A = this chain, B = another copy of it.
Amino acid sequence: MAKRDIEGLDERSRAVLWAIIKSYIESPEPVGSRFLTRRYGFGWSPATIRNIMADLEEMGYLMQPHTSAGRVPTDRGYRYYVESLITERPDEDSSLMEELEREFQSVADDMDRLLGVTTDTLSKISRYLGLGVSPGAEGSVLRQVEFVPYREDRIAVIMVTEEGIIRHKIIKNDYGFSQGDLKQIAGYLNREFAGHTIKEIREHLVNEMISEKRKFDTLVERAMEIYRDFIYEYDSNIFLSGMTRILDLPEFTDLRQIKDLTRTIENKHALVKLIDQIMDSDGLQVVIGMENPVEELQGMSVIASTYSEGDRKAGVIGIIGPRRMNYSSSISLVETAARFLSNLYNEGGEGWKRGK
């Protein structure tokens, strides 16, 4: 049995675990005792390493794909690595920052587009899958809503949020509102609701409908109805980018996995559980393998962070990659990207400051 103190592993075990994970991250092949001595030249013989590895396996940090293969890190191993073994954590990733600044120049200010580009860039630099989520109903604050009459009997409802997200929908003008009516309605809604989150507005509208149903005159009542129909569809946009990149990784040789992943990407809706979990905690989170609430992603790891507007969590930006992904550099990439997005909201140049 190896020495181990209460808090974790002894120095030797840590060194061996670190070396195994490091090596496995570079190339996904089970690593054996001889290989370790050759490569990292600890002071110990393969036999000693074997003993240590046996202990690590017993403790659940390693596993063998089959009896006579080398060891491979388990989720728990990665977890320990992430928590305790990563040393070099570059504070900021300058190449990403440069790239983002450059992209930012060209993309103007539509938040959805900006988030899309950030996700692409993150994927491009990390060589993994990029994940971006725009603010949802809780995070988005209504800035302005506008009604544009359209064709004979339609209205285009257009909404802009503080975060710079535009959503629109075409709705039937069943009540035959005139242009003037629409203007009045929009004015009312803006006066009443601007500055509130979409979620608050939704709740308000529901209460309104139930408790004070007859209190307002019909124009307003019907306006609310229309707006309610519209606002109920408001939802986050989910961006995923870089599928082709990830298929080039050596572990994606299995059809099964590829199909699962493709399905997940096509049906982004499947990701809500994961996104919720990330939104539940502040800042950066690492989700390794089986820890992932989304079954199809349990063969992978996720590094993601919330970005925020002021003290309100807005959305999520992150990376999805294989379990053996390069955690330290990916973590710094995601941190940088999240900071970039938060900055845009909170201080960002050229009048981007919130008016509130």
Contacts and interface: CB of A to CB of B under 8 A. Distances in A.
Interface string A253-282: 101001100110110000000000000000
A196 to B, nearest CB: 17
Interface in A157-197: 158, 160, 164, 166, 168-172
Nearest to A146: B148
A47 interface: no
A144 B150 contact: yes
Contact of A156 (B160, B170, B244): B160
A326 to B, nearest CB: 22
Contacts of A152: 351, 355
Contacts of A258: 247, 258
Given A156-B160, A244-B259, A259-B244, A110 B170 contact: yes
Number of copies of this chain that the complex holds: 2
A151 interface: yes
A108 B169 contact: yes
A227 to B, nearest CB: 15
A55 B72 CA distance: 58
Interface residues of A, number: 40
Contacts of A242: 266
A294 interface: no
A351 B266 contact: no
A50 interface: no
A64 B282 CA distance: 61
A262 to B, nearest CB: 5
Contact of A351 (B153, B160, B169, B253): B153
A212 interface: no
A113 B169 CA distance: 10
Across the A-B interface, the 9 shortest Cβ-Cβ residue pairs: A244-B263, A109-B170, A166-B168, A153-B351, A110-B170, A152-B351, A244-B262, A146-B148, A247-B259
Given A108-B171, A258-B258, 4 more contacts: A152-B351, A152-B355, A153-B351, A247-B259
Interface of A: 108-110, 143-144, 146, 148, 150-154, 156, 158, 160, 164, 166, 168-172, 241-244, 247-248, 253, 255, 258-259, 262-263, 265-266, 350-352, 355
27 contacts: A108-B169, A108-B171, A109-B154, A109-B170, A110-B168, A110-B169, A146-B146, A146-B148, A148-B158, A150-B160, A151-B351, A151-B352, A152-B351, A152-B355, A158-B158, A158-B168, A166-B170, A168-B168, A172-B350, A241-B266, A242-B266, A243-B262, A247-B255, A247-B258, A247-B262, A253-B255, A258-B258
